[in-house]
Amino acid sequence: MAFEEVGKKTDMGGGVIHCRPDACEYSEASIYGTSLARSPIFQGDHGVRSAFFKMKKGDVIANHKHKKWVQVAILSGCVKVNQDVTTEFVAEAGSVYFLDPGYFHIETAVEDSILLVTQGEDRPGWLKDE
């Protein structure tokens, strides 16, 4: 069986895409005013999008909220999360946090970090079944 390489992601066929964050190609993306390195894994299918993000120590994703759910897995590093300026926690490598839509929060990289962010697709026109 032949596999297709797509930006250092391997499309294994049968609906499987395999990738490692250290082998992916990243491009600069403005995330609520902060420039981060982003490598999309998939988007538009199943009403979900997913990407790796690299945050440098001290990077801050400004106070924001989401229209749909978001799940963040910390693959390496450490990120401080402040929600509604009242709740604060530190998410370390190996941990995951889930955000319901509509809640304001701020994310700050305590050290260089790689995140896997998966969320409900909320961009108009991106859903393949629209």
Sequence-ordered list of residues with C-beta below 8 angstroms from that of 37, at least 6 positions apart, any chain = 26, 27, 28, 29, 53, 54
What average pLDDT score do residues 73-93 get? 92
What average pLDDT score do residues 102-123 get? 92
What average pLDDT score do residues 66-87 get? 92
Burial of residue 51 (CB within 10 Å: 0-12, 13-18, 19+) is buried
What percent of the chain lies above the pLDDT cut of 90? 55
CATH of the domain at 91: 2.60.120.10
In this model, does residue 130 exceed pLDDT 60?
no
13 within some domain: no
31 within some domain: yes
What average pLDDT score do residues 64-69 get? 91
What is the predicted pLDDT for the residue at 19? 83
What average pLDDT score do residues 54-79 get? 95
Domain that holds residue 92: 26-120
49 within some domain: yes
Give the number of domains in the chain.
1
129 within some domain: no
Backbone angles phi, psi at 45, to 5 degrees: -90, 145
Query: What is the number of alpha carbons within 13 Å of residue 121 lying toward its C-beta?
Result: 17
